[in-house]
Structure 1
Amino acid sequence: MRRIVLVLALALITALPAVTAARAAGPVVLTVTGEIERTNRGPFDPFTDSLFAALQETFERAHELTLDDLAALPQETVEVAYPNWPGPVTVTGPTLASVIDLVGAKADRVLVQAVDGYAPAFRLSEVRAGTFVLATASDGKPLPLGGRGPLWLVFPAGSYAGQTAEDDSGLAWAVFHLKITTGE
């Protein structure tokens, strides 16, 4: 019995560098919480998750994604313009729907949270029916932190019920968190 336990322990220790190497491919840029089926991390920690703590967001389990994880999803390129912008912008990234599907959303709404606390919410049916892009690049250049990146939720006008052609208020820049929830 001891031999079996030792063999299992050695197998786990041998596998740890591969897991660590995969996680070290890049920093986590997006954390998905809430009612999801597939997770890859444990609960909120008030010290390491200081931005979540400042925004009073806690969770029991989550799914973390790096830019490499997002780049591995099918990419969508869309040109978007709103009247108050200087001109059209072409963005590229995975669709919000593909990220939601990756984690196995089990509810009907997604809250898209930016680092400043801005958090528009959308029905998953609207997200799946429209072209909501979680952009990682704009006009061929990666989105920088301090600009609109590293993740910018972008969609054309008229993507959800009640949105007017002038209303770009749901576009969230510096997105770091998606929360899948049941809502109104």
Structure 2
Amino acid sequence: MRRVALALLAALLVLLPLSAPARAAGPVVLTVTGAIDNTNRGPFDPFSDVLFGTLQETFEKAYALTLDDLAALPQKTVEIGYSNWPGPVTVSGPTLAAVLDLVGATGSEVLVQAVDGYAPSFKIAEVRAGTFVLATSQGGKPLALGGRGPVWLAFPAGSYEGQTADDDSGLAWAVFHIKIAAGE
């Protein structure tokens, strides 16, 4: 009887990983909060979520993404350049719209926040109509923290109403947080 129980336990342990949803390994690099339907983590924790606390951002629900999670989404490669840049660059990563779909965003505005607190906001309709990329690589090389990464919100000129060819102010590097404002 004991052998049968051990054999069943061994079989269950082998099958258990097949039944659990796959979760990418690695640190969380991007957290989406606000008006979202899909979540995979709990609310703001003052001890663990130090940067959020420092920037006075709290939340009740969130969706946390690793670089592997971002890589699992459909990827978009786009060449962007602005008149005040030395030349165009080619970046790749998932579109911001794909991340909004993943989390079930229900709001009307999206705020994209960098580690320094810089946080441009955009209408979700403009994001869905344009080419807003959450770039994780440039020229085929991963973006690094201390450079523009690990996640850089990048998009071509003319991606939102009123943006000019030399206005790169909405591009946010070292993005760690996306907040969806509730719809009107």
Letter in 2 for 1:64: A
- Aligned position for 1:7: none
Deviation of 1:98 (Å): 0.2
Inter-partner Cα distance in structure 2 for 1:176 and 1:14 = 36
- Aligned position for 1:61: 61
5+ residue gaps in structure 1? Answer: 1-12
Inter-partner Cα distance in structure 2 for 1:68 and 1:121 = 25
Q: Please say which structure displays the higher CA radius of gyration.
A: 2
Inter-partner Cα distance in structure 1 for 2:86 and 2:63 = 36
Letter in 2 for 1:96: L
- Aligned position for 2:117: 117
- Aligned position for 1:76: 76
- Aligned position for 1:31: 31
Cα-to-partner distance string for 1:120-169 (whole Å, 9 max, x where unaligned)? 00000000000000000001100001000000000000000011111000
Residues 85-100 of structure 1 mapped to structure 2, 5 A cutoff: 85-100=85-100
Cα-to-partner distance string for 1:54-96 (whole Å, 9 max, x where unaligned)? 0000000100000010001000000000011111000000000
Asked whether the equivalents of residues 24 and 66 of structure 2 are also in contact (C-alpha less than 8 Å), the reply is: no
Deviation of 1:14 (Å): 9.8
Name whichever of 22-31 and 108-117 sits farther off.
22-31
Letter in 1 for 2:113: Q
5+ residue gaps in structure 2? Answer: 1-12
SS of the residue 1:112 aligns to = strand
Q: CA RMSD in A?
A: 2.2
- Aligned position for 1:154: 154
Deviation of 1:182 (Å): 3.2
Inter-partner Cα distance in structure 2 for 1:160 and 1:31 = 23
SS of the residue 2:125 aligns to = helix
Inter-partner Cα distance in structure 2 for 1:144 and 1:20 = 31
Letter in 2 for 1:100: L
SS of the residue 2:177 aligns to = strand
- TM-score, normalization by structure 1: 0.87
- Aligned position for 1:140: 140
Inter-partner Cα distance in structure 1 for 2:135 and 2:24 = 22
Inter-partner Cα distance in structure 1 for 2:124 and 2:55 = 23
Task: Say if 2:172 is the partner of 1:177.
Answer: no
**Structure 1 stretches of 4+ moved >2 Å:** 13-24
- TM-score, normalization by structure 2: 0.87
Letter in 2 for 1:99: V
- Aligned position for 1:48: 48
How many residues are matched?
A: 172
